[in-house]
Amino acid sequence: MQTIENYDFSGKKALIRVDFNVPLNENFEITDDTRMRAALPTIQAVIEKGGSPIIMSHLGRPKGPEAKFSLKHLVAHLSELLGGTEVKIAPDCIGDETKAMAAALKPGEVLILENLRFHGEEKKGDEAFAQQLAELGDCWVNDAFGTAHRAHASTAVMAKFFPNDKMFGTLVSSEVASLDKVVAEPQRPFTAIMGGAKVSTKITIIENMLDKVDNLIIGGGMIFTFVKAMGGNIGGSLCEDDYVEMAKNIIEKAKAKGVNLVIAEDCVAADKFANDAAIEVCGSGEIKDGWLGLDVGPKTIEQFKEVIGNSKTVLWNGPAGVFEMENFAAGTVAIGDAVVEATKKGAFSLVGGGDSVAAVNKFGIAAGVSYISTAGGALLEYLEGKELPGIAAVRS
């Protein structure tokens, strides 16, 4: 198999599929550049080995060409991350002008293509579109783990045009190696912390995790669907009524499988969804009408610390509370600290999913965990044991 290390990039134009789907604020400034930084080793390796990187990505969910989703917003920062190297931007990801720009690239010059999703063909996995992209370069590097679960034109379909010139980028190969430490043979006890807003988006992984873990910590807004399933009063807390039955099943299954399912016993409730709300600590099932549980409480934090502290493998996906607001960040901070402590004691810790990565960066603990995955859906599907099209396309 070709790798970044063994491939001769000299004089070649390398089409690198990256995941630059970064969050932007209303002034189109990047608020978290983790995904961009994660792709740098691959881009730099191509440059150092005498190639020209042609960077391809999507950004957001455009319905056609939309200025607010233009990759132009990323050019200056990418140039800065590459130590001042000029980054040219193509007016589109295909077409004559783009082709001419790609053809004119000299070794070491960097071109970024305009948002792939300005063309509906990208998500449809259209072969003719994939071929047009393929014509721009000499080899294909998949360094976008975040979209590896999609059989899109740039993430999987274009592999067929490079039967002998396709490879994983540095990020994807280290990502797969790290995930295998959790999926394949985790050291025990293995604890998964599943947090975030909605049960509906995490239900499959939660069910799958029940077969793998010793401890399953439920965090975030999801807690309250479980608390409701146990008959508690959750006031106006986030709850998905359609999932209450599912939550009951999970509680039963966990019992049957001997998994320690940790559902917050206390919480920080607020009288409105705002940092300056009135606050009180109460049982998670004793929330007053109209109040909302926005973080886990101190007893739960102690329980989290104990469970995480005794783990040899920790997977963390999703915050414990509304960590973006200072008054509801304590649970998420405590999880982060406990994960760092466990790692110091020799545990392998993997943090994945957009919001947990944002939390880890916000609280400055990134250096203390074993591996940070920048992927969301792809990570979850990999953890569920599914074969990802973007991985299979390189391996086949």
Query: Which residue from 85, 201, 208, 233 is in contact with ligand AMP, where contact means CB under 6 A?
Result: 201
Q: Decide if 12 is catalytic.
A: no
Q: Decide if 35 is catalytic.
A: yes
Q: Decide if 354 is catalytic.
A: yes
Please give the helix or strand (H or E) that residue 224 lies within, else none.
helix 223-229
Q: Which two tokens stand for residue 342?
A: 């466990």
User: Least distance in Å: CB of 76 to ligand AMP?
Assistant: 28
CA-CA distance, 292 to 299, in Å (whole number)? 18
221 binds ligand AMP (CB under 6 A): yes
User: Least distance in Å: CB of 197 to ligand AMP?
Assistant: 4
Place of tokens 């189109």: 28
196 binds ligand AMP (CB under 6 A): yes
319 binds ligand AMP (CB under 6 A): yes
Query: Which residue from 198, 253, 257, 312 is in contact with ligand AMP, where contact means CB under 6 A?
Result: 198
Nearer to ligand AMP, 9 or 328 (CB): 328
Q: Which two tokens stand for residue 23?
A: 């969050």
Contact between 277 and 240 (Cβ < 8 Å): no
Enumerate helices (H) and strands (E) in the chain, giving the number of each.
14, 17
Contact between 19 and 147 (Cβ < 8 Å): yes
The CB-nearest residue to ligand AMP is 196
CA-nearest of 252, 201, 192 to 222 is 201
293 binds ligand AMP (CB under 6 A): yes
User: Least distance in Å: CB of 323 to ligand AMP?
Assistant: 6
Stretch that binds ligand AMP, among 129-137, 195-203, 248-256, 337-345 (CB under 6 A): 195-203
Q: Decide if 146 is catalytic.
A: no
β-bridge mates for residue 194, sequence order: 218, 317
Q: Which residues contact 239 (CB under 8 A, 6 or more apart)?
A: 224, 225, 228
Options 60, 108, 368, 377, the catalytic residue: 377
Task: By CB under 6 A, name the binding residues for ligand AMP.
Answer: 196-198, 201, 220-221, 238, 293-294, 318-319, 321-322, 324, 353, 355
